[in-house]
């Protein structure tokens, strides 16, 4: 790691300076209006941060995941939120690993420059979440194109993307021996698709998160936009999920550190009965405990990223990192809110907004229970629980 | 035109500094360090001159132990072309810094030298002026605007009571004030490029300077805590207190 220490220090400075320009009031206004933080995303794009994982040959910086996560963690540590654009970093991984040279040359340089946004990942459906093989959206070959029909839900940033990675069934389930076979992955050009059978409908949620549902009504996709081999899409999708989990875990660590710092500062400043409230162990200990929990979770995030960068299997570590980091950020958030008392609920302190935002990560991109099922079955060898 | 910029490693301006328990110095243990903000403004100005086609090369120089290479690297990531570290140990006082910079100037022969007006650690505000005296180059301190025109530079200075405009012959020395520009942040591609830029290391002996200390720090202690204020009931009471208690008006 030492060769990257200097780069990491400079990256953290750059992120801090960008976040300084888009401080609390910016996020509060966006939150009230449920608006996409386009200016913030543009600043990150202009600084080349979202292209960190793209190889230099395609115009990115070719950094390992363990350096990229310093960016997402720092964004959250500085009170901002990377959810509006973190997928621009890693969604291209599916294209990079499984696309043809021609497909990579067509899309990656534009993605690296930020002119093309590939930050939508169309997998989840109303009746198939973690049960990915159960999706019912179909893509049927018709000459030199596929015709897509079906529906997706919880597709984040689709309205703010030019491209989407789409998973659809190309061979009916009863015609394949394994249910995970017969699924294929496509690159969908969304601007074009919106005029040809795609409808995007935003979903209002508890937080300002640009998520949507999608409807495909005979939407054509050129056959040349198929990634890799037809029918092998399930494996392609899985290979991208570890990077996503590790980056999101790093955002949780960033949130947790923001909560801990905010709580600590307030506990030292706020005086009740003539002394700072942080002098009371009832206030101090939960913050200290959240700190310990956060630092422990961060070690797992680092371990998962190191395995990922070394090209080793890291499914269990990526899952554990996400779970532990999301629990740490939630504990820190709850403690921060409690430390602030009534002021924690006031919008201007940003605590309530961050509290709502960090809650998401126990649900997305995978819920805690499914991580526990995975660990029970695959790591501990207990019977499959679902 | 070659531009030399001096950058100093200091405690980050966001950090609340503390004195060491033994009063020997400021406690730098686990403290975030950064480029002195005025030096950052100097780097930005030099890069802007190069972007405008006025400067052809920007060289960032820092004086200190190996750790100050971080600040040189940051200057390179911001856009400086190459770096020079003058390796010294311990605290270096303004006169020694000025002598070392003079040595670098003799080696590099820049047309313009830009420094911060002061560094936020010692707040001495001496190096630029001493360098002017040692090199016999004209100086424009506290600059809020720079315009290079052929072999002259027009410097707008922020002075008490207004702005003063000077025309200096190049080569010249300029020190920056806060309003000269707003420094950029380093983009990731430039951070990556900076890794490959040249950085030379000189010892004071290479520059013919013996870093002799003329100053001794006796004690470092925090300023006394400010006492709580009071509310006055009327303007009359305020005036009375200013006159008779604070004795700041008569």
Q: Do A47 and B70 touch (CB under 8 A)?
A: no
B contacts of A52 (beta carbons < 8 Å): 188
Residue A42 pLDDT level (bands cut at 50, 70, 90): very high
* Assigned domain for B249 exists: no
Closest residue on chain A to B186 (Cα): A14
The DSSP bridge pattern shows strands A163-169 and A118-122 to be parallel
Which of A92, A113, A134 is where one domain is finished? A113
Same domain, A145 and A73: no
Which of A88, A113, A138 is where one domain is finished? A113
* Assigned domain for A141 exists: yes
A contacts of B185 (beta carbons < 8 Å): 13-14, 17-18, 47
Same domain, A242 and A374: yes
Query: What is the tens place of the pLDDT at every residue in B54-82?
Result: 999 999 999 999 999 999 999 999 999 99
* Assigned domain for A348 exists: yes
Please give the pLDDT value at position B94: 95
* Assigned domain for A52 exists: yes
Closest residue on chain B to A46 (Cα): B187
Looking at chain A, the whole-number percentage of residues with pLDDT higher than 90 is 96
Choosing from A125, A213, A244, A317, the catalytic residue is A244
| Distance (Å, whole) CA A334 – CA A221 | 46
Q: What is the mean pLDDT of residues A186-195?
A: 96
Q: How far is B70 from chain A (nearest CA, A)?
A: 7
A contacts of B75 (beta carbons < 8 Å): none
pLDDT above 90: residue A386: no
Number of folded domains that form chain A: 3
Residue A2 pLDDT level (bands cut at 50, 70, 90): low
Please give the pLDDT value at position A239: 78
Please give the pLDDT value at position A225: 98
Same domain, A221 and A240: no
Structure tokens that stand for A75 in this block: 């964004």
Query: What is the tens place of the pLDDT at every residue in B90-122?
Result: 889 999 999 999 999 999 999 999 999 999 999
Please give the pLDDT value at position B228: 84
The strand ranges marked E within chain B are 2-6, 9-11, 33-35, 57-64, 82-87, 112-116, 139-149, 152-159, 162-169, 172-176, 199-202
Nearest to B188 among A6, A9, A52 (CB): A52
Domain that holds residue A206: 118-231
B contacts of A7 (beta carbons < 8 Å): 191-192, 195
Q: Do B188 and A48 touch (CB under 8 A)?
A: yes
* Assigned domain for B171 exists: yes
* Assigned domain for A384 exists: no
* Assigned domain for B235 exists: no
Identify the sign of the CA torsion A344, A349, A352, A358.
Answer: negative
Same domain, A211 and A245: no
Q: Cβ(B104)–Cβ(B133) under 8 Å? A: no
Nearest to B186 among A10, A51, A52 (CB): A10
ipTM score assigned to the predicted complex = 0.91
| Distance (Å, whole) CA A194 – CA A162 | 11
* Assigned domain for A22 exists: yes
Predicted structure pTM score: 0.91
Q: Do A13 and B73 touch (CB under 8 A)?
A: no
Q: How many secondary structure helices (H) and strands (E) does chain A include? A: 13, 10
Could you tell me which of A119, A134, A50, A124 has the C-alpha nearest to residue A87?
A119
Please give the pLDDT value at position A301: 98
Best of A2, A3, A10, A44 to substitute, by most chain B Cβ atoms within 10 angstroms, is: A10
Same domain, A211 and A171: yes
pLDDT above 90: residue A319: yes
Q: Do A14 and B186 touch (CB under 8 A)?
A: yes
Same domain, A20 and A46: yes
Same domain, A58 and A165: no
Torsion of CA A64, A38, B184, A116, to 10 degrees: 50
* Assigned domain for A386 exists: no
Cis peptide before B171 (omega within 30 of 0): yes
Closest residue on chain A to B70 (Cα): A6
Identify the CATH number of the domain in which residue A74 sits.
1.10.540.10
φ, ψ at A97 (rounded to 5°): -80, -35
Residue A306 pLDDT level (bands cut at 50, 70, 90): very high
Residue with tokens 């040359």: A105
Same domain, A94 and A220: no
Q: What is the mean pLDDT of residues B31-53?
A: 97
Q: Do B195 and A17 touch (CB under 8 A)?
A: no
Number of folded domains that form chain B: 1
Which of A180, A211, A231 is where one domain is finished? A231
B74 touches chain A (CB under 8 A): yes
B185 touches chain A (CB under 8 A): yes
Residue with tokens 């394949």: A176
Looking at chain B, the whole-number percentage of residues with pLDDT higher than 90 is 88
Give chain B's length.
250
Same domain, A244 and A226: no
Same domain, A309 and A249: yes
- Residue A244 falls in the annotated catalytic set: yes
B contacts of A14 (beta carbons < 8 Å): 185-188, 191
Check residue A377 and report its DSSP letter: I
Residue A1 pLDDT level (bands cut at 50, 70, 90): very low
Nearest to A11 among B70, B191, B195 (CB): B191
Identify the CATH number of the domain in which residue B87 sits.
3.40.50.620
| Distance (Å, whole) CA A335 – CA B59 | 49
* Assigned domain for A385 exists: no
Same domain, A244 and A367: yes
Query: What is the tens place of the pLDDT at every residue in B177-213?
Result: 999 999 999 999 999 999 999 999 999 999 999 988 8
Q: How far is A213 from chain B (nearest CA, A)?
A: 34
pLDDT above 90: residue A67: yes
Q: What is the mean pLDDT of residues A201-220?
A: 96
Best of B66, B73, B184, B188 to substitute, by most chain A Cβ atoms within 10 angstroms, is: B188
A46 touches chain B (CB under 8 A): yes
| Distance (Å, whole) CA A368 – CA A326 | 9
Cis peptide before B48 (omega within 30 of 0): no
Best of B7, B32, B191, B195 to substitute, by most chain A Cβ atoms within 10 angstroms, is: B191
A49 touches chain B (CB under 8 A): yes
Q: What is the mean pLDDT of residues A250-260?
A: 98
Identify the CATH number of the domain in which residue A135 sits.
2.40.110.10
* Assigned domain for B242 exists: no
pLDDT above 80: residue A341: yes
Nearest to A6 among B73, B185, B187 (CB): B73
Interface subset of A 16-45, CB within 8 angstroms of B: 17-18
Same domain, A292 and A221: no
B195 touches chain A (CB under 8 A): yes
Identify the CATH number of the domain in which residue A255 sits.
1.20.140.10
Domain that holds residue B156: 2-224
């Amino acid at each position: 790691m030492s060769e990257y220490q200097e780069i990491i220090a400079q990256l953290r400075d750059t992120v801090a300076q960008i976040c300084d320009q888009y401080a609390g009031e910016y996020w509060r206004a966006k939150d009230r209006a449920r608006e996409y933080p386009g200016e913030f995303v543009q600043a990150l794009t202009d600084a080349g941060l979202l292209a960190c994982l793209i190889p230099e040959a395609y115009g990115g910086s070719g950094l390992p995941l363990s350096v990229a996560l310093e960016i997402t963690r720092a964004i959250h540590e500085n009170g901002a939120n990377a959810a509006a654009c973190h997928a621009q970093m890693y969604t291209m991984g599916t294209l990079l690993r499984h696309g043809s040279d021609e497909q990579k040359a067509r899309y990656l340089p534009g993605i690296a420059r930020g002119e093309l946004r590939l930050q939508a990942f169309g997998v989840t459906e109303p009746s198939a979440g973690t049960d990915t093989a159960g999706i019912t959206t179909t893509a049927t070959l018709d000459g030199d194109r596929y015709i897509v029909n079906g529906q997706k839900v919880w597709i984040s940033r689709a309205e703010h993307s030019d491209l989407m990675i789409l998973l659809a069934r190309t061979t009916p389930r009863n015609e394949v021996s394994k249910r995970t076979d017969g699924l294929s992955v496509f690159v969908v050009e969304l601007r074009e698709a919106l005029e040809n059978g795609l409808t995007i409908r935003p979903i209002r949620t508890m937080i300002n998160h640009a998520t949507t549902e999608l409807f495909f009504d005979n939407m054509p996709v050129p056959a040349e936009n198929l990634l890799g081999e037809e029918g092998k899409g399930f494996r392609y999708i899985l290979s991208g999920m570890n990077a996503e989990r590790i980056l999101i875990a790093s955002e949780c660590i960033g949130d947790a550190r923001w909560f801990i710092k905010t709580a600590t500062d307030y506990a030292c400043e706020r005086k009740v009965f003539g002394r700072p409230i942080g002098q009371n162990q009832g206030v101090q200990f939960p913050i200290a405990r959240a700190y310990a929990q956060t630092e422990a979770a961060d070690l797992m995030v680092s371990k998962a990223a190191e395995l990922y960068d070394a090209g080793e299997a890291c499914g269990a570590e990526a899952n554990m990192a996400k779970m532990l980091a999301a629990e740490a950020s939630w504990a820190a958030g709850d403690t921060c809110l409690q430390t602030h008392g009534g002021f924690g609920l006031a919008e201007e302190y940003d605590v309530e907004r961050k509290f709502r935002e960090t809650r998401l990560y126990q649900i997305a991109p995978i819920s805690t229970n499914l991580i526990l099922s995975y660990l029970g079955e695959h790591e501990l060898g207990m019977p499959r629980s679902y | 035109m070659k531009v030399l910029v001096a950058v100093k490693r200091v405690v980050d301006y966001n950090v609340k500094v503390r004195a060491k328990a033994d009063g020997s110095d400021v406690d730098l243990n686990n403290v975030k360090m950064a480029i002195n903000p005025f030096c950052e403004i100097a780097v930005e100005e030099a890069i802007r001159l190069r972007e405008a086609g006025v400067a052809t090369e920007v060289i960032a120089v820092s004086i200190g132990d190996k750790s100050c290479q971080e600040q040189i690297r940051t200057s390179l990531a911001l856009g400086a072309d190459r770096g020079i570290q003058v390796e010294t140990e311990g605290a270096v006082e303004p006169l020694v810094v000025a002598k070392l910079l003079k040595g670098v100037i003799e080696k590099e022969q820049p047309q313009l030298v830009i420094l911060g007006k002061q560094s936020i650690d010692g707040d001495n505000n001496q190096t630029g002026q001493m360098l002017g005296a040692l090199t016999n180059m004209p100086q424009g301190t506290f600059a809020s605007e720079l315009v290079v025109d052929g072999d002259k530079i027009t410097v707008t200075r922020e002075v008490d009571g207004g702005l003063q405009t000077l025309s200096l012959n190049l080569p010249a020395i300029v020190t920056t004030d806060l309003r000269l520009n707003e420094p950029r942040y380093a983009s990731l591609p430039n951070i990556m490029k900076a890794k490959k830029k040249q950085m030379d290391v000189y010892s004071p002996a290479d520059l013919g300077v013996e870093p002799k200390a003329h100053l001794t720090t006796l004690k470092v202690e925090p300023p006394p805590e400010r006492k709580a204020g009071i509310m006055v009931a009327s303007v009359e009471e305020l005036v009375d207190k200013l006159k008779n208690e604070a004795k700041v008006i008569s």
